[in-house]
Structure 1
């Protein structure tokens, strides 16, 4: 997956947690204000107010992140983007999305992938490139956690695709060997794998390949 898509997906992964985290930070800010009234030493007061500033800065960042995600959805309109919105904004499960739109799981995943590209384009149209997103949100702990999660999932998906491709090549090579063996038997006039007019599997080199040769 391209880097800009990884960053865009990270924003979507953050979205369901933004409201709850905002409330937690609000509570932490209020605690700092309360503690500041009872602080005795100036150094203690300074430490409390520095924490308060950090909490408030994070709250601003979370608010901006939420607004940006929703703005990107407003700027772009497409069927794949609608499914993406169902998953991340409306917090629907894959089964619920499949039932609502009457699509298969495979189609659902394909549309979500296309929707992510549309969402990324919406971010860019709003003036947020990958670099600007990282500049604005890269220091937010929630964003960092979700980015790590997204990258790890992408690595797993890529490995699975590579393994599937290797298995596909092995099947193709095995079937080609089967075809050559069948052609050789035809030229030699041997009955091949036909025994009593029934098909029998002919293994290749002891591999137990399941092609049936007539």
Structure 2
């Protein structure tokens, strides 16, 4: 059972965004641009885990036990880290969630946490790129970076796994009327403009 007893409730409006994008969709580039334009904080569960483990916080110690055994860190621990991150930044404009939630169960847990803090997910943006284009982009990137492990078969499996898991999460937020699907084909500037147009319907850039 999730326990948020140590957290306090944020009572002003905070803009929280989930940005979905399959491997090769350009999500990393667009996320960085959005963080800068809208003055948001980045929440990456991978970064949170590394930070909490490095600082040897109670949650970090707990997470390390699972990581040392090659096991996935339980959702409750990750949610606790997200809760701490939000509490440590009470005056930020909002957050972009990266890499979480990945499953419907995680989405439900995140919703419960943010509801408790009175700061729900405001918008979910999903970059849509055809599988063939994703494969082409990733293989090209692998060639230029020397990543020989990114074969066409490996890339296709990564994309298939992403679609299988993420579509379930997107459907969860679609039922709440929060999902906007964005064409991920075009220049970086064109895609950024499309993402910004959806965000501007909710908040104005600072």
Superposition TM-score tier, normalisation by shorter sequence: under 0.3
For CA contacts below 8 A with separation 6 or more, give which structure has more relative contact order.
2
Normalization by structure 2: what TM-score? 0.25
Q: Which has the larger radius of gyration?
A: 1
Q: Please, what TM-score do these two structures have when normalized by structure 1? A: 0.25
